[in-house]
Amino acid sequence: MSDVYAHPSTDAQPAADLLAGYTTLRLGGPAGRLVTAVSAEEIVQKVQQAQLQGEPVLVLAGGSNVVIGDQGFPGTVVLVRSRGLRVLTEDADTVTVRVEAGEPWDDFVAATVANGWSGVECLSGIPGSAGATPIQNVGAYGQEVAETITGVQVYDRTDGSVGQVDAADCGFAYRSSIFKYSDRWVVLSVDFRLARSPLSGPVRYAELARSLGVEVGGRVPLADARSTVLRLRAGKGMVLDADDPDTWSVGSFFTNPVLDREAYELLRERAADLGEPPSWPCPGDMVKVSAAWLIDKAGFAKGHPGPEGTAISSKHTLALTNRAGGTSTAALVGLAREIRDGVHSRFGIPLHPEPVLINCTL
């Protein structure tokens, strides 16, 4: 399920409706047909109906992690509007909750903090829906949803069944899963196992630790972790604000490259005049490097302009923004291509997009 969140709509709407109205980028052409599903059962029903009619189907939920081309989508777009969460099991130490796919993610995070459930507090302020989080293996400030997800309830479009994919079978990796590049599965709900604790998990992200006044590995009250993450994200234009064009984006457009040791040493040689590239060790002797640093050092600073009113955010190098509010997807993709090619030319490192691209290519 791509991460797009729509405004309230009727069950079917005219083909002239632009998908730009359903994305945080405010970009995207018309849908052939828009239908709304407010429960897991309706999601399955709407997808099945479109399949029986031989129409292509696009399932969209929260709006924050998808780039839709100017041609839009010619088939049926199913807007996921299922809401709610419920406790499945609990004991003295943990609680397992099931969250419907259309539940706004930050509403869920706020509920966990209010209830004293620890494990996703550092993912505060991320726009989109709960059902999109396993697709992307959403992560920020030292936490990933893969650490707390126990299972994902799905509709399998291949055999028409409804079932569960256990966490071990989700193929979670850095900003990826088995769901990301496949339309086989439609996410219906997600189960999270969280610690019953008034304190956050160990703070792993150095910037967050500094802001909280603790050492890396320290723990703080859940509300403190949430409020500090929200403040940090807002300072980078990563909390949606209808009045701030710097937030009209998909968040980080590029993932941080993960390099083997040889490629990392080659990067260090090519960047010798720029200082040590920010990096983090990864399993298997791999090294993750900062895409923001690569972009900046390749000559693309915050605020760098692109065509038709697009630009790199003035607050965050990884965010590409539709500042004019009425530009084309082609213009934004053109800016992304310019940055990607410039980084490759300067450092020999390929950058890969983080959002899902629908009817457009980089």
Residue 63: left if φ>0, alpha if ψ -120 to 50, beta else—which one? left
- Record the tokens describing residue 315, joined without a space: 């607050």
Segments of 219-293 assigned E as strands: 258-259, 279-282, 286-289
**154, 162 contact by CB (below 8 A):** yes
Residue burial 342-354, b: 16+ Cβ < 10 Å; e: rest: bbeebbebebebb
Side chain identity, residue 65: N
Bridge-based pairing of strands 286-289 and 279-282 is antiparallel
Give the active site residue among 100, 103, 121, 354: 354
Q: Is 118 a catalytic residue?
A: no
Give the active site residue among 33, 98, 175, 193: 175
Side chain identity, residue 38: V
Q: Is 53 exposed, middle or buried (0-12, 13-18, 19+ CB in 10 A)?
A: exposed
Q: Is 354 a catalytic residue?
A: yes
State whether residue 75 is helix, strand or coil.
strand
Concatenating the DSSP letter of every residue in 169-230 gives GS--BTTB-TTTT-SSEEEEEEEEEEEE-SBPSP---HHHHHHHT--TT---BHHHHHHHHH
**10, 81 contact by CB (below 8 A):** no
Q: Is 175 a catalytic residue?
A: yes
Give the active site residue among 2, 189, 252, 328: 252
Of 89, 137, 112, 124, nearest to 199 by C-alpha is 112
Question: What is the set of active-site residues?
Answer: 175, 252, 354
